[in-house]
Amino acid sequence: MDTTSTATPITVTDGAARKIRQLAGKEGYAEPILRLRVVAGGCSGFAYEMGFTGSPEPHTGANLLRSSGNLHLWNPSQPTPATPWEAEIDNLLDQGSRELDESKRPQFYWRIQEILHEQLPMIETVRQTHFVAHKTILQNYDETTWGLYRPELVRIAE
């Protein structure tokens, strides 16, 4: 893997730059962070994905789910949870982040999904369709919604 990095700026509107700086500051980052990923697709053969998360790790969505999170879409900018179910989500996020046993962590995040299903504070209306094909000689190839999971394990069968 090429680890060489060159600083190539991307252009965003002044309003978007202000919002990125604001969100980064609330999260305690000295410099604004926004993940940009180049993936296969699009008209030129490549597509760009931007976001504040981007991992199969469930806790990366905490900024959206936590009642005080900067990306919290319902009851925004609340100092304390506005509802009992939001307080439960906050508590579950805390428990999930503290649990070191990976076999015990899913219970916290599944319960969050149940709450979101019951309360419907947001409804996803768009989901990217993603098709991947690979030859059977690739072993441990595990494509997920967020990209290739643990690419370091991919091997070519002999």
Instruction: Name the range with the highest mean pLDDT among 83-87, 123-127, 141-145, 147-151.
Output: 83-87
Mean pLDDT of 130-149: 75
Phi then psi dihedrals of residue 155, to 5 deg: -135, 155
Instruction: Name the range with the highest mean pLDDT among 36-40, 51-55, 135-139.
Output: 135-139
By C-alpha distance, which of 107, 5, 6, 9 is closest to 58?
Answer: 107
Tokens standing for residue 111? 């319960």
pTM metric for this prediction: 0.51
The model's pLDDT over 80-106, given as tens digits with 9 standing for 90+, comes to 999 999 999 999 999 998 998 888 988
What DSSP character marks residue 100? -
3-class secondary structure, 47: strand
Do 93 and 108 touch, CB atoms closer than 8 A?
yes
The model's pLDDT over 28-52, given as tens digits with 9 standing for 90+, comes to 666 656 666 666 655 656 666 555 5
CA distance 104 to 139: 28
Do 108 and 74 touch, CB atoms closer than 8 A?
no
Counted residue by residue, the chain has a size of 158
